[in-house]
Amino acid sequence: MKLIKADHDRRLEIPGVPGLARRPVDIDRSRTGFTNLRSLRIYRFDAQSVINGHAEEDEVFVVVMAGSVELNVSEANSPGGPHSFLLSAAGASGNLPCVAYLPPDSAYQLIPQTDADVAYARATPVGCRASTVFAPRPRGGAVGVTALLEETTYARRLRVRLVQIDASQDNVVFKPVQESESLCEALVHVRTAPAEGVATITTFGAGPTELNSWDTASVAPGDHPALCVASQSSALVLVVLAV
């Protein structure tokens, strides 16, 4: 397992974005050594920016972690105009979708309706499906753990889950990678409150590693991670995997 820190000073030029865009999380295969899970990048977009992008040869999950965005997707082999979606962070605006799937060779235009944190996860595909969106379906599990969204069947390689952990009384331990996914490549990204000193992740044969807010753990196949969130704290966890 590798711990990858965010860089909140990272800025880059993106056409259509006034000034420089913020990309605190920028993880690709040069940092993970993965084969199929190509990248995880998380941007902090300002409202009313216009971001034009392309899935290229990848399949892509777009995950809205804060705020809301308009997303227009044009598919290479789909007749008609773009498919338009409104995405919002889970729990922020009723039951609006919070995740979109983009097939290889599709183009998109993303327009934040508010300031928004947007994650892009990419994997090498083995075929493709049509673009679509997924709404949160909150489901309770262990005490303090709510699976906001879990999508593991639609994409060819990618899987994604969003989990809210509220450790109001006792420490909460959560396994972000299920036993059936033990051979997957995985990235585990956390947002914690308080921002520091309340979460650790442990993998097989290794001691606990502290995770602060905006940290990401790169989890190799067979690592069997366990995330612990301390009492009187909370965490939003984004898990992306590739089979």
* Cα 132 to Cα 116, 128, 144, distances in angstroms: 20, 12, 30
Domains of the chain, first to last: 7-126 (2.60.120.10), 139-242 (2.60.120.10)
Q: pTM for this one?
A: 0.95
* Cα 126 to Cα 61, 155, 235, distances in angstroms: 15, 9, 33
- The continuous run of DSSP H or E covering 173 comes out as strand 172-174
CA angle in degrees (0–180, nearest 5) for 67-62-152? 120
Comparing C-alpha atoms, which of 186, 212, 188 is closest to residue 198?
Answer: 212
Strands 11-12 and 139-140: unpaired
Reading the chain (243 residues) residue by residue, the pLDDT tens digits are 999 999 999 999 998 788 899 999 999 999 999 999 999 999 999 998 999 999 999 999 999 999 999 999 999 777 667 899 999 999 766 679 999 999 999 999 999 999 999 999 999 988 879 999 999 999 988 899 999 999 999 999 999 999 999 999 899 999 999 999 989 999 999 999 999 999 999 998 788 999 999 999 999 999 999 999 999 999 999 999 999
